[in-house]
Amino acid sequence: MRLKTSNNPFDLTEPKSFGRYYVKRPVSSDWFDGGFNQTEGKQKTAARLNSSLIQRRDFNVWLLVLALGFLLLAARIFYLQFYEGQNLRAVAEGNRIRILDIESSRGLIFDRDHQLLVKNIPSFSLVVIPVDLPQDQAKRQATISALAKKFGQSEAELTQKIFSQPAYSYQPVIVKENLGFEEAVLAKIESNLHPGVALQIDNTRQYLAATTTQSLSHLLGYLGKINEPEWPEYLESGYALNDKVGKAGLEAVYENILKGKKGKEQVEVNAKGETKEILAYQEPQAGLNLLLSIDSDLQKQAEQSLEKILRAYGKKRGAVVALDPRSGEILALVSLPAFDNNAFALGISQADFGNLINDSDKPLFSRAISGEYPPGSTFKLIVGAAALEAGVISANTGFQSVGGIRVDRWFFPDWKAGGHGWTNINKALAESVNTFFYIVGGGYNDFEGLGVARITDYAKKFGLSKNLGIDLPSEAAGFLPSQAWKEEVKKEPWYIGDTYNLSIGQGDVLVTPLQIAFWTSVFANGGILYQPHLVKSVLNYNDEVTTELAPKILNQDFVSPDNIENVKKGLRQAVLSGSARALGNLPINVGAKTGTAQWSSNNANHAWITTLAPYQNPELVVTVLVEEGGEGSAVALPVAFDILNWWAQNRYHN
């Protein structure tokens, strides 16, 4: 069958037969050259080609960008995996595994007879672990608000306390310590309600004798928090920010011995910071114990004796030093007024601390080792020994005391009107004759005395103007004047009167009660100056001695035995017929030197006495100071009498 076709040979809308298939093509003049717009067709074709090229170029650019992106991503993954992988792994593990400190038990402190003076008792603290607090700001603030309300703190204070450490820290921040039973129960409840809140069991120091013998506080000391300026030093040594360290007394001096060594615990925790499993454990090491030279019963007696005389005379300040002259061991060290160091152990309030700091009687101040005073006539022991040793006098040298000496228009008096008559070294010490020491110290008429340089040189041999090295902080050195010092500081020349005043322990010379006790011990033991010490030995947890602290000699053989004995005789004569006669009623023989030191602040005198007992073979030296107490023979002597009498009845064995 033949298909019908159009008469127009160019009508391509009609189907054309190609066998079984038909093709219908659209009319397009671009296909023909003649009679149609050939140029326009070429332009359209070129435009299509250009558009295709642009699209291909854009595609290549995006492909390159995509390739670079993948390359950078691969590089970052490589960096994180191979360079930062260990750190990131540690951070990730830190969310699950933590290494916690286990507190060690602090060492105990005993007196010389193994009476317990300081121990540890369990206590509870409310703590917050910053990293475990809710990440949501509202929930975190709700936790802080709840704790502040229930434990009596302001929200601002609590927020500042918690975030004094970084937010990612898992070191506990103490919110409140030393909780009572009810507070501890409440803290446990809150720890279950709020992530990051925990009840922590701690150890607190308890000073057992604080209620009966507060003067032990000055030598035992107390613990306190590490202050911010101290953080770098302590953190380098393995301490944590919440740790307590020795702040005063033996607690501070022997911190490294008492503190022990912390243990470690590797634990797995959940999202709330609660321990789910202990993975590893390193046991803590308890601190070592201290065995002191202190006789706590003698300490108590010394404190009571001093307190009694202070009340009787309306005074508040004084000190007692008792020691064994054969070794330098301190047996009692009293300073009044004192304080209760348990107040510091339990966390003293700012108000109570302010009261202690602002108290005019300075209860935190240890007068026994830090107080500096003119020694009065107790200094005559040194001047007498120096004059004998330098050959200025002999045991038989004497001078007439007529009530004082006059130099030009100045008069230097004896304390006794009319004088003491003929006086040698023994009588001069026994009756505290000023004239004798004016002459041997500064000279008079044709007699050449020691002079200021030789007096101070010998005084230094007895341990003056420097620390003796007791194992306590804040020991004072005292002061010895000199011509050069006076000219430089006071802008005045040195006068003969300055030497006279120095010779009787007046003027600008300053000493501590500890120094007087130790120069007295030189005459008690035959010429040895020992270093004072409070710790006899260091013990382990089983009370076995790990370190024995042997006596240390600071100086010896600087005064001959004969001259030591001549001065010592003067101390005995003071008890038999001199200014310390009241001590003759003791059950043992003793030697003594009283002293009355003028005090320029308000013309009140400090009362002194220093003693050794028993006289024949001394085992005890007792030195007493009553600040602004008046005459040493009237005020300080009764304190020494009580102490020596107790010691003779309770400690001395014939």
Radius of gyration (C-alpha) of the chain in whole angstroms: 45
Quote the CA–CA distance of 383 and 452 in Å, as a whole number: 10
User: Rounded to 5 degrees, what are φ and ψ at 328?
Assistant: 85, 5
Mean pLDDT calculated for residue range 553-568: 97
In this structure, what token pair is assigned to residue 192?
A: 């279950």
90 or 454, greater pLDDT: 454
228 — pLDDT class (breaks 50, 70, 90): confident
SS3 143: helix
Q: Would you put residue 601 in left (φ > 0), alpha (ψ -120 to 50) or beta?
A: alpha
User: Rounded to 5 degrees, what are φ and ψ at 65?
Assistant: -60, -45
Residue 21 has a pLDDT of 39
Mean pLDDT calculated for residue range 74-85: 67
Quote the CA–CA distance of 226 and 488 in Å, as a whole number: 42
In this structure, what token pair is assigned to residue 96?
A: 């699950």
The answer for residues whose C-beta is within 8 angstroms of residue 119's C-beta and 6 or more apart is: 108, 205, 206, 208
Quote the CA–CA distance of 553 and 300 in Å, as a whole number: 29
pLDDT tens for 447-504 read 999 999 999 999 999 999 999 999 999 999 999 999 999 999 999 999 999 999 999 9
SS3 82: helix
Residue 267 has a pLDDT of 81
Quote the CA–CA distance of 516 and 384 in Å, as a whole number: 15
Residue 348 has a pLDDT of 87
SS3 647: helix
91 pLDDT higher than 60: no
Residue 8 has a pLDDT of 46
In this structure, what token pair is assigned to residue 334?
A: 């009293």
Least confident span in 56-70, 158-172, 274-288, 309-323: 56-70
The answer for residues whose C-beta is within 8 angstroms of residue 56's C-beta and 6 or more apart is: none
Quote the CA–CA distance of 642 and 648 in Å, as a whole number: 10
Residue 67 has a pLDDT of 78
Range among 262-266, 295-299, 415-419 rated most confident:
295-299
84 or 325, greater pLDDT: 325
Q: Render the burial of 378-394: b for 16+ CB within 10 Å, e for the rest.
A: bbbbbbbbbbbbbebbe
Residue 79 has a pLDDT of 67
Mean pLDDT calculated for residue range 370-394: 97
Encoded amino acid at 61, one letter = V
Kindly report each contact of residues 135-138 with a partner whose C-beta sits within 8 Å and lies 24 or more positions away, as own/partner: none
**What domains does the chain contain, in order, with CATH numbers?**
97-291 (3.90.1310.10), 296-346+367-650 (3.40.710.10)
pLDDT tens for 22-67 read 444 444 444 334 444 555 555 655 666 566 666 666 667 777 777 7
Q: CA angle, corner 274, sides to 270 and 279, nearest 5?
A: 75
Residue 95's DSSP bridge partners are none
Per residue, the 3-state secondary structure of 537-552, as one string, reads EEECCCCCEEEECCCC
244 pLDDT higher than 80: yes
| Residue listed under structure tokens 């037969």 | 17
Residue 561 has a pLDDT of 97
- 82 CB-contact burial (10 Å; exposed 0-12 / middle 13-18 / buried 19+): exposed
Quote the CA–CA distance of 362 and 356 in Å, as a whole number: 7
Residue 19 has a pLDDT of 41
Nearest in space to 406 (alpha carbons), one of 393, 424, 419: 419
pLDDT tens for 249-274 read 999 999 999 999 988 888 887 766 77
SS3 591: strand
Quote the CA–CA distance of 581 and 592 in Å, as a whole number: 9
| Residue listed under structure tokens 């309770």 | 650
Nearest in space to 333 (alpha carbons), one of 632, 621, 645: 621
The answer for residues whose C-beta is within 8 angstroms of residue 511's C-beta and 6 or more apart is: 372, 373, 374, 375, 379, 464, 478
Task: Give the chain's length.
Answer: 654
Per DSSP, 399 falls in state: E
Provide the whole-model pTM.
0.82
Q: CA angle, corner 223, sides to 217 and 228, nearest 5?
A: 135
Residue 13 has a pLDDT of 43
109-110/289-292 β-pairing: parallel
215 or 79, greater pLDDT: 215
